[in-house]
Structure 1
Amino acid sequence: MSNSIATWMGKGHAAVEAPIGDDGFCFGSEPSLADVCLIPQLYAARRFEVPLDACPRILRVEELAGRHEVFGSAHPSVQPDAE
Protein backbone atom coordinates (compact mmCIF):
# COMPACT_ATOMS: atom_id res chain seq x y z
CA MET A 1 0.00 0.00 0.00
CA SER A 2 1.23 3.42 -0.82
CA ASN A 3 1.55 5.56 2.27
CA SER A 4 0.16 8.57 0.40
CA ILE A 5 -2.99 6.65 -0.50
CA ALA A 6 -3.55 5.73 3.15
CA THR A 7 -2.85 9.30 4.24
CA TRP A 8 -5.21 10.98 1.81
CA MET A 9 -7.97 8.39 2.04
CA GLY A 10 -7.68 8.51 5.83
CA LYS A 11 -8.10 12.29 5.83
CA GLY A 12 -11.10 11.97 3.55
CA HIS A 13 -12.68 9.30 5.74
CA ALA A 14 -12.16 11.43 8.86
CA ALA A 15 -13.87 14.38 7.16
CA VAL A 16 -16.82 12.21 6.13
CA GLU A 17 -17.06 10.41 9.48
CA ALA A 18 -17.60 13.61 11.47
CA PRO A 19 -21.00 14.76 10.10
CA ILE A 20 -22.59 11.29 9.87
CA GLY A 21 -25.29 10.73 12.47
CA ASP A 22 -25.31 8.05 15.14
CA ASP A 23 -27.81 5.77 13.41
CA GLY A 24 -29.11 5.00 9.95
CA PHE A 25 -27.40 5.92 6.73
CA CYS A 26 -25.19 9.00 6.30
CA PHE A 27 -27.99 11.52 6.75
CA GLY A 28 -31.13 9.66 7.69
CA SER A 29 -33.00 6.40 7.66
CA GLU A 30 -33.01 6.11 3.86
CA PRO A 31 -30.01 6.01 1.50
CA SER A 32 -29.04 9.26 -0.16
CA LEU A 33 -26.49 10.42 -2.71
CA ALA A 34 -23.97 10.64 0.13
CA ASP A 35 -24.28 6.90 0.72
CA VAL A 36 -24.08 6.16 -3.01
CA CYS A 37 -20.77 8.07 -3.15
CA LEU A 38 -19.38 6.61 0.08
CA ILE A 39 -19.70 2.90 -0.67
CA PRO A 40 -17.32 2.85 -3.67
CA GLN A 41 -14.76 4.74 -1.58
CA LEU A 42 -14.86 1.93 0.97
CA TYR A 43 -14.36 -0.63 -1.77
CA ALA A 44 -11.24 1.29 -2.85
CA ALA A 45 -10.04 1.64 0.74
CA ARG A 46 -10.18 -2.11 1.22
CA ARG A 47 -8.48 -2.68 -2.12
CA PHE A 48 -5.55 -0.53 -0.98
CA GLU A 49 -5.67 -1.87 2.60
CA VAL A 50 -6.46 1.51 4.14
CA PRO A 51 -7.34 1.10 7.84
CA LEU A 52 -10.97 1.90 8.67
CA ASP A 53 -10.89 1.27 12.43
CA ALA A 54 -11.34 4.97 13.21
CA CYS A 55 -14.56 5.15 11.19
CA PRO A 56 -17.33 3.34 13.10
CA ARG A 57 -20.11 5.45 11.58
CA ILE A 58 -18.86 4.87 8.05
CA LEU A 59 -18.61 1.14 8.75
CA ARG A 60 -22.18 1.16 10.07
CA VAL A 61 -23.38 2.83 6.88
CA GLU A 62 -21.51 0.21 4.87
CA GLU A 63 -23.19 -2.57 6.84
CA LEU A 64 -26.64 -1.06 6.25
CA ALA A 65 -25.90 -0.61 2.56
CA GLY A 66 -24.79 -4.23 2.36
CA ARG A 67 -28.26 -5.30 3.45
CA HIS A 68 -30.00 -3.02 0.95
CA GLU A 69 -30.98 -4.69 -2.34
CA VAL A 70 -29.95 -1.80 -4.57
CA PHE A 71 -26.45 -1.53 -3.13
CA GLY A 72 -25.94 -5.28 -3.41
CA SER A 73 -26.81 -5.36 -7.09
CA ALA A 74 -24.53 -2.39 -7.80
CA HIS A 75 -21.46 -3.72 -5.95
CA PRO A 76 -18.35 -3.84 -8.16
CA SER A 77 -17.78 -7.52 -7.40
CA VAL A 78 -21.05 -8.53 -9.11
CA GLN A 79 -20.58 -6.52 -12.29
CA PRO A 80 -20.05 -8.34 -15.60
CA ASP A 81 -16.47 -7.07 -15.90
CA ALA A 82 -15.44 -7.95 -12.32
CA GLU A 83 -12.17 -9.81 -12.09
Structure 2
Amino acid sequence: MSESLEKSEKLREMILEKINNSKSIAPREIAEASAQEGEDWRKLLPKVKKVAIDLESENLLTFLRKGKPIASKGLKGVYRLAKPE
Protein backbone atom coordinates (compact mmCIF):
# COMPACT_ATOMS: atom_id res chain seq x y z
CA MET A 1 0.00 0.00 0.00
CA SER A 2 1.37 3.40 -0.89
CA GLU A 3 2.30 5.84 1.86
CA SER A 4 -0.34 8.34 0.71
CA LEU A 5 -3.10 5.72 0.71
CA GLU A 6 -1.97 4.46 4.10
CA LYS A 7 -2.06 8.05 5.49
CA SER A 8 -5.57 8.52 4.08
CA GLU A 9 -6.76 5.32 5.76
CA LYS A 10 -5.27 6.40 9.09
CA LEU A 11 -6.93 9.82 8.77
CA ARG A 12 -10.23 8.16 7.90
CA GLU A 13 -10.09 5.91 10.96
CA MET A 14 -9.04 8.80 13.21
CA ILE A 15 -11.85 11.08 11.99
CA LEU A 16 -14.49 8.37 12.46
CA GLU A 17 -13.20 7.52 15.93
CA LYS A 18 -13.10 11.15 17.06
CA ILE A 19 -16.56 12.10 15.73
CA ASN A 20 -18.00 9.01 17.43
CA ASN A 21 -16.44 10.05 20.75
CA SER A 22 -17.38 13.75 20.71
CA LYS A 23 -20.13 16.07 19.55
CA SER A 24 -17.96 17.66 16.84
CA ILE A 25 -14.30 18.15 16.09
CA ALA A 26 -12.19 20.76 14.32
CA PRO A 27 -10.11 19.56 11.35
CA ARG A 28 -7.12 21.15 13.08
CA GLU A 29 -7.42 18.61 15.91
CA ILE A 30 -7.18 15.72 13.43
CA ALA A 31 -4.21 17.30 11.64
CA GLU A 32 -2.35 17.97 14.89
CA ALA A 33 -2.97 14.44 16.18
CA SER A 34 -1.79 12.81 12.95
CA ALA A 35 1.30 14.95 12.36
CA GLN A 36 4.64 13.30 12.92
CA GLU A 37 7.04 14.92 15.38
CA GLY A 38 8.47 18.04 13.75
CA GLU A 39 5.93 17.93 10.90
CA ASP A 40 3.84 21.05 10.29
CA TRP A 41 0.22 19.99 10.94
CA ARG A 42 -1.07 22.80 8.69
CA LYS A 43 0.23 20.92 5.64
CA LEU A 44 -2.10 18.05 6.55
CA LEU A 45 -5.29 20.16 6.52
CA PRO A 46 -6.01 19.70 2.78
CA LYS A 47 -5.69 15.92 3.19
CA VAL A 48 -8.00 15.97 6.25
CA LYS A 49 -10.54 17.99 4.24
CA LYS A 50 -10.37 15.57 1.29
CA VAL A 51 -10.87 12.52 3.52
CA ALA A 52 -13.75 14.29 5.32
CA ILE A 53 -15.44 15.07 1.98
CA ASP A 54 -15.11 11.39 1.02
CA LEU A 55 -16.71 10.41 4.34
CA GLU A 56 -19.52 12.91 3.74
CA SER A 57 -20.21 11.32 0.34
CA GLU A 58 -20.67 8.00 2.19
CA ASN A 59 -23.04 9.69 4.70
CA LEU A 60 -20.63 8.96 7.56
CA LEU A 61 -19.88 12.60 8.39
CA THR A 62 -21.39 16.06 8.15
CA PHE A 63 -19.78 19.49 8.05
CA LEU A 64 -20.95 22.10 10.55
CA ARG A 65 -20.68 25.86 10.74
CA LYS A 66 -22.02 27.55 13.86
CA GLY A 67 -23.58 24.21 14.83
CA LYS A 68 -25.61 23.90 11.62
CA PRO A 69 -25.00 21.44 8.76
CA ILE A 70 -23.42 22.86 5.61
CA ALA A 71 -22.55 21.40 2.22
CA SER A 72 -18.94 20.58 1.47
CA LYS A 73 -19.20 21.97 -2.07
CA GLY A 74 -17.11 25.14 -2.21
CA LEU A 75 -16.24 24.76 1.47
CA LYS A 76 -14.14 27.64 2.81
CA GLY A 77 -13.52 29.16 6.20
CA VAL A 78 -14.11 27.72 9.64
CA TYR A 79 -16.02 24.44 9.94
CA ARG A 80 -16.26 21.41 12.19
CA LEU A 81 -16.82 17.72 11.56
CA ALA A 82 -19.60 15.71 13.18
CA LYS A 83 -21.60 12.51 12.93
CA PRO A 84 -24.67 12.95 10.74
CA GLU A 85 -27.94 13.13 12.62
Q: Indicate the TM-score class for this superposition, using the shorter chain for normalisation.
A: 0.3 to 0.5
Q: Which has the larger radius of gyration?
A: 1
Q: Could you state the TM-score of these two structures normalised by the residue count of structure 2?
A: 0.38
**Counting strand residues as a fraction of each chain, which structure ranks higher?**
2
Q: Could you state the TM-score of these two structures normalised by the residue count of structure 1?
A: 0.39
**Counting helix residues as a fraction of each chain, which structure ranks higher?**
1
